[in-house]
Amino acid sequence: MLLNRDQGQREPPRVLILCTGNSARSQMAEALLRARSGNRFEVYSAGVAPKGVHPLAVQVMAEMGIDISQARSKGVEEFLGQPMDYVITVCDNANETCPVFPGAVTRLHYSFEDPAAVTGDEAARLAVFRRVRDELDEWLQDFASHQ
């Protein structure tokens, strides 16, 4: 928890999770971190080139009981100038093009496969979405346990 100097109250750390399209990886990561950590973090996601939330991301998150059907794809520009404590990039493109956030920001990067880019039948694509979701979940649980 961070100290809000204006009011003397503790605030949860602000986390921004970035990927290219804010359609799958960062959307799933935002929802997972929020669901797994309760009020410990204030979590957002965005993309460097937002494309809209992928329907298979919505489906695989619903399988875990997490509803992202009302989520919207956001551009990173919406968060420029806002204080962030952590900026987490979940793909190499976002890591390379991530803008600078002012203040004491901790940048973390871990590249996950883009499930939205996978071709094949629906079963094969769903398998990749599920695997990436589970990899994100494991990585974010480790992140949260060390903060």
Residue 5 has pLDDT above 80, yes or no: no
pLDDT at residue number 9: 52
| Segments forming the whole domain that contains residue 129 | 2-137
Question: In this predicted model, what pLDDT tens digit does every residue of 24-41 receive, in sequence order?
Answer: 999 999 999 999 998 899
Residue 53 has pLDDT above 60, yes or no: yes
Lowest mean pLDDT among 13-17, 82-86, 90-94, 126-130: 90-94
pLDDT at residue number 98: 75
CA-based diameter of the chain, in Å? 54
Is 145 inside any structural domain?
no
Task: Kindly list the catalytic residues.
Answer: 19, 91, 98
Residues in contact with 123: Cβ distance below 8 Å, sequence separation at least 6, in sequence order: none
Is 147 inside any structural domain?
no
Average pLDDT, the chain: 90
Check which CATH number belongs to the domain holding 102 and give it: 3.40.50.2300
Question: What pTM does this model have?
Answer: 0.90
Question: In this predicted model, what pLDDT tens digit does every residue of 67-78 receive, in sequence order?
Answer: 999 999 999 999
